[in-house]
């Protein structure tokens, strides 16, 4: 995660620096959002190199078509994650873009002018795996491999700034997972 995190931070700092250096003289007004964990159509469904939702969709679908008796998920299932559909992120970006300058400046700090964007809802990996199992129609068991890492136990953004503007996610997790699975079926051949 370190290179990924550093790249995101570098992008945020670049926008902040451009605003400080060229904001007044050239009228620049770069705005940044920091999203929570995203999912949706067009994701990376690689079995070995994907994030949790596309990875689980792939595993459960493959297990279903192979008539496997179980799917193995990493860790204990106890960590909680916050997820947001990519369409909600696009909507948030438009909302931030359309804010007048004074409203935006009131939400951000001078040396930290990004806005966190998240759903505000957490789900355990255990519950997420069961939800994806149901959506894909897999009828076998889920085994959590406790020898594999869990990662951070809690990962939830404070999205109070953007929510104070009246913006909120429109796509509930189950609804988003259903549409994501449908797009997976169109995009992927197993």
Active site residues: 4
Tell me how far CA of residue 146 lies from CA of 60, 78, 84, 139, in angstroms. Answer: 19, 11, 26, 22
Q: Under a CB-based contact definition with an 8 Å cutoff, are residues 25 and 76 in contact? A: no
Sign of CA dihedral 153, 155, 160, 161: positive
**Distance between CA atoms of 25 and 161, rounded to whole angstroms?**
28
74-89 b/e (C-beta count within 10 Å ≥ 16 → b): bbbbebbbbbbbbbbb
DSSP category for residue 142 = E
**Distance between CA atoms of 113 and 106, rounded to whole angstroms?**
10
For residue 54 the two structure tokens come to 């596309």
- Give rounded-to-5 percent helix, strand, coil for the chain: 45, 20, 35
Closest-CA residue to 121 (of 76, 42, 174, 60): 174
């Amino acid at each position: 995660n370190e290179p990924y995190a550093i790249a995101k931070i570098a992008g945020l700092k670049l926008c902040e620096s451009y605003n400080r250096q060229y904001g007044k003289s050239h009228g620049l007004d770069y705005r940044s959002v920091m999203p929570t964990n995203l999912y949706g159509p067009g994701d990376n469904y690689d079995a070995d190199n994907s994030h949790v939702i596309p990875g689980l969709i792939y595993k459960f679908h493959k297990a279903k078509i192979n008539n496997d008796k179980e799917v193995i998920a990493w860790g204990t299932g106890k960590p909680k994650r916050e997820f947001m559909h990519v369409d909600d992120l696009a909507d948030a970006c438009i909302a931030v873009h359309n804010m007048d300058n004074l409203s935006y400046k009131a939400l951000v700090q001078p040396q930290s002018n990004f806005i966190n964007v998240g759903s505000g809802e957490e789900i355990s990996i255990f519950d997420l795996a069961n939800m994806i199992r149901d959506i894909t129609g897999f009828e076998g068991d889920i085994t959590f491999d406790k020898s594999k890492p869990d990662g951070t136990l809690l990962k939830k953004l404070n999205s109070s700034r953007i929510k104070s503007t009246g913006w909120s996610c429109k796509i509930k997790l189950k609804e988003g997972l259903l549409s994501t699975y449908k797009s997976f079926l169109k995009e992927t051949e197993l």
